[in-house]
């Protein structure tokens, strides 16, 4: 007990010292990662902070960011960036929408980096059950290259974490449905030792906890050693308005675990649906080198109708630790308190290191390099037929592929939408056979809007086409043409997409910018799982092969809040 009392004094002294100078520091704005970056996990390697997020069916997957101040983040690579990593047991080639890579954890230990995560794959056969494959990646450099996946045999469930214990053992913690569940979606957290060489489970499996509210979607576990005890942090309540972060504690890593009587320690379930951010949860704790603490968590901004086209984003919150003030306890527990002044996610806080946060800015694609940057995404691991013409500084998209289809590659490549308000522009020309090409904003295979040049028997048109999302149990509706303008095909065409809370506006430039169509702001709202991706597309109007290409001589985005 004396040792724990001394430890907490050190933590309190650190927090007091920080608060005495924090009033002069800069503010940072939430979210700290803009766009579809859900399920954040964080670690510190002694020099830099590292953060990884879910990527689902998008590829490359498992984006890894680096920061020196917890506020300004740089995408340094993707842990899954080679198609051969995801073609067998970990299948992202024909993965279904909202399948793929779920809830990774990133950890560093003795100079090496580890990511453990789940791939959720639903076979296309009718009546098939989802296959959940848990695997480990490792690297000497967080920027990569990362190893091929090592599948953990017998690891059921999703959202795993690993803990390198102070006893030298490596532990795996995951979730599963309990035997004879009381209701669909009930979950429990389990633990088992992991061989540090083979990354295979060994020893006895231990059932730890069913959460603080009956195990409703108990998932996303993280395990920590603090103050001589083991803390189990989980997500619970589902990833919508009832999402929450719960925590339990044990003197032994294998349990039993005692729930914090003040759970949840982070949620928006008690706030108005119209709060500026909702569905907050799925947290991961980080101890700074000076013993301050923070949490990264996901949330959905209330941009339009209590939702956001960016989906779930990454937020940063300060954390303090307080010991239970109950005099009758022999050994009161130290518990984390998230966002201690208000208990909820705030739009801004004092920056941990006084850093001035970067603001959204003008972004221009660099087509003078043969490789596109790590921020570029495409649907699934089948690479679209694109190249970069360095001499002419153009992105070249082949027109011998199809438009978006379930479980299939497509002629689309883009970047995560970062803000509700933005302007995207590109200029394109055709070479050889003409198909369709332009700008698209894509949520899913069945939910998108695009402005493009389309060649038809009646002529060449700039069309704005919208695909409403498929309603469960209903057939897919046909894409709707919202507007069109006839154009000649013997010159370059410039296209523009403007997005705001008022809606979407689409323009074509022949001599001056000319409006083509509009779309209400809520027509492309995310269902909350992932965010939209904006970028160039090019494909043939039929399934037959084409020798034509679309050449994009620029692609630029102006992000603004």
Active site residues: 39, 219
- Classify the phi-psi angles of 397: left when phi > 0, otherwise alpha if psi is within -120 to 50, otherwise beta: beta
SS3 of 2-61: HHHHHHHHHHHHHHHHHHHHHCCCCEEECCCECCCCCCCEEEECCCCEEEECCCECEECE
CA distance readout (Å), 430 to 401, 402, 490, 502, 537: 15, 17, 9, 33, 12
172 prior amide bond cis, ω within 30: no
CB 286 within 8 A of CB 294: yes
Contact indicator for 193, 203 with CB cutoff of 8 Å: yes
DSSP string of 273-294? Answer: TTSSEEEEEEEEEEE-TTS-EE
DSSP string, 498-534: EEETTEEEEEEESSSEEEEEEE-GGGG---SSS--EE
Going by C-alpha positions, the residue among 467, 522, 498 that lies closest to residue 309 is: 522
- Residue 523's alpha-carbon distances to 282, 341, 417, 442, 474, in angstroms, are 27, 37, 15, 12, 18
Nearest to 243 by CA among 312, 294, 179, 158: 312
Tokens of 420: 């509700």
Q: Which residues of 233-248 are buried (b: 16+ CB within 10 A; e: fewer)?
A: bbbbbebebbbbbbbb
What are the two backbone dihedrals, phi and then psi, of residue 213, each rounded to the nearest 5 degrees? -130, 50
Contact yes or no for 256/250 (Cβ under 8 A): yes
Q: Residue 66 and residue 51: Cα distance in Å, rounded?
A: 7
Integer Cα distance of 301 and 35 in angstroms: 10
With contact defined as beta carbons under 8 Å apart, do 227 and 285 qualify? no
Neighbour tally for 401: CB within 10 Å: 23
Residue 154 makes CB contacts below 8 A (sequence gap 6+) with 201
Q: Which two tokens stand for residue 235?
A: 């997500």
CA 244 to chain CA centroid, nearest Å: 17
Q: How far apart are CA 305 and CA 302, in angstroms?
A: 7
């Amino acid at each position: 007990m004396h040792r724990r009392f001394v430890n907490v004094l050190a933590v309190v002294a650190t927090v007091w010292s920080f608060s005495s100078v924090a009033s002069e520091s800069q503010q940072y704005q939430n979210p700290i990662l803009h766009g579809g970056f859900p399920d954040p996990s964080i670690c510190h390697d002694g020099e830099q902070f590292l953060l990884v997020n879910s990527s689902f069916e998008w590829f490359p997957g498992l984006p890894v960011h680096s920061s020196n101040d917890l506020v300004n983040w740089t995408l340094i690579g993707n842990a899954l960036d080679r198609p051969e990593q995801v073609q067998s047991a970990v299948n992202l080639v024909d993965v279904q929408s909202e399948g793929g890579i779920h809830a990774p954890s990133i950890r560093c230990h003795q100079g090496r980096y580890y990511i453990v995560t789940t791939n959720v794959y639903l076979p296309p056969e009718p009546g098939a059950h989802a296959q959940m494959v848990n695997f480990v990646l490792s690297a000497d450099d967080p920027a990569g290259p990362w190893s091929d996946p090592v599948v953990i045999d017998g690891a059921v469930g999703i959202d795993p974490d690993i803990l390198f214990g102070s006893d030298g053992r490596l532990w795996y913690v995951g979730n599963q449905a309990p035997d004879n569940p009381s209701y669909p979606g009930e979950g429990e957290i389990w633990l088992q030792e992991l061989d540090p060489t083979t990354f295979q489970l060994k020893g006895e499996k231990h059932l730890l906890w069913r959460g603080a509210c009956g195990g409703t979607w108990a998932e996303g576990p993280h395990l920590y050693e603090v103050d001589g005890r083991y803390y189990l942090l989980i997500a619970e309540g589902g990833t919508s308005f009832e999402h929450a972060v719960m925590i339990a504690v044990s003197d032994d890593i294998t349990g039993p675990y005692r729930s914090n009587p003040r759970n949840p320690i982070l949620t928006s379930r008690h706030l108005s649906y119209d709060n500026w951010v909702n569905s907050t949860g799925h947290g991961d704790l980080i101890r700074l080198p000076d013993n301050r603490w923070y949490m990264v968590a996901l949330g959905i901004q209330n941009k339009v109708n209590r939702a956001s086209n960016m989906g779930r984003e990454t937020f940063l919150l300060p954390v303090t630790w307080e010991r239970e003030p109950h005099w009758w306890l022999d050994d009161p527990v130290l518990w984390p308190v998230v966002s201690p002044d208000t208990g909820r996610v705030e739009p801004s806080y004092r920056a941990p290191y006084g850093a001035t946060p970067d603001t959204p800015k003008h972004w221009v694609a660099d087509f003078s390099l043969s490789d596109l940057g790590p921020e570029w995404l495409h649907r699934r691991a089948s690479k679209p037929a694109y190249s970069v013409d360095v001499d002419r500084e153009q992105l070249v998209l082949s027109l011998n592929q199809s438009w978006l289809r379930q479980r299939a590659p497509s002629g689309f490549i883009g970047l995560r939408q970062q803000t509700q308000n933005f302007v995207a522009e590109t200029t394109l020309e055709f070479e050889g056979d003409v198909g369709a090409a332009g700008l698209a904003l894509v949520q899913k295979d069945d939910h998108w809007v695009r402005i493009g040049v389309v060649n038809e028997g009646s002529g060449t048109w700039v069309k704005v086409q919208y695909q409403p999302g498929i309603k469960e149990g209903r057939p897919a509706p046909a894409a709707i043409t919202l507007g069109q303008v006839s154009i000649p095909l013997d010159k370059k065409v410039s296209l523009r997409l403007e997005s705001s809370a008022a809606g979407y506006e689409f323009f074509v430039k022949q001599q001056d910018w000319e409006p083509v169509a509009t779309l209400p702001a809520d027509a492309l709202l995310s269902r909350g799982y992932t965010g939209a991706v904006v970028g160039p597309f090019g494909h043939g109007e039929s399934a037959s092969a084409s020798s034509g290409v679309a050449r994009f001589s620029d692609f630029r985005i102006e992000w603004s809040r």
